[in-house]
Amino acid sequence: MANGARRQRRLAVPSDANRLHYAKETAQRNLDAGNNILWLVQRLETAEAQVAYLEERSTPVPESNDEIRARFIYRVPTDKQRELLAQAHQCTLEYVNFLLAYIPDSRDRAIALTFLESARMMVNKAIVFAEVG
């Protein structure tokens, strides 16, 4: 040290530019954290809405074996139901005749006929199991 002068240590005092930079970084981190929280809240609300929708739309599970057995019991159709069954039968036959007349014999036609047969069975069940009011 020259001339006995002591060299003083300078304390590191952040400049205004450094303070501004630090403040911007802190604000950005806080904003990112806030956005993440907002995103999580939105996801949670969406999930809750989906669960509520599915609960509304879900088919109730049969509560007893009697309710399950009721689906397999033969039901004698009423006169009105017989008329509807006859109309459904006629419509199905018309569609079958269309498929046989205009669609070439192929695997796709066979699948279409199988689906039509399944649809017809479900229509019959819907007609006979419909609650009469």
Q: Give the closest residue to 88 by CA, choosing from 123, 46, 36.
A: 123
- d(Cα 75, Cα 132) in Å, to the nearest integer? 13
Average pLDDT by stretches of 10, the chain with 133 residues: 57 65 74 72 78 73 77 88 94 94 95 94 91 54
Q: Extract long-range pairs of 15-23: CB within 8 Å, 24+ residues apart.
A: none
Whether the pTM exceeds 0.85: the reply is no
- d(Cα 111, Cα 132) in Å, to the nearest integer? 34
Per the listing, tokens 């809405």 go with 49
Contact 95, 112 (CB under 8 A): no
Q: Say what the pLDDT of residue 18 is.
A: 73
Q: Is 101 helix (H, G, I), strand (E, B) or coil?
A: helix
Within 8 A by CB and 6+ apart from 1, the residues are 7
Q: Say what the pLDDT of residue 13 is.
A: 57
Query: Domain-by-domain residue ranges, the chain?
Result: 13-57, 65-129
The tally of CA atoms less than 13 A away on the side-chain side of residue 1 is: 5
Q: DSSP of 17-30, one letter per residue?
A: HHHHHHHHHHHHHH
Sign of CA pseudo-dihedral 82, 85, 89, 90: positive
Q: Say what the pLDDT of residue 133 is.
A: 42
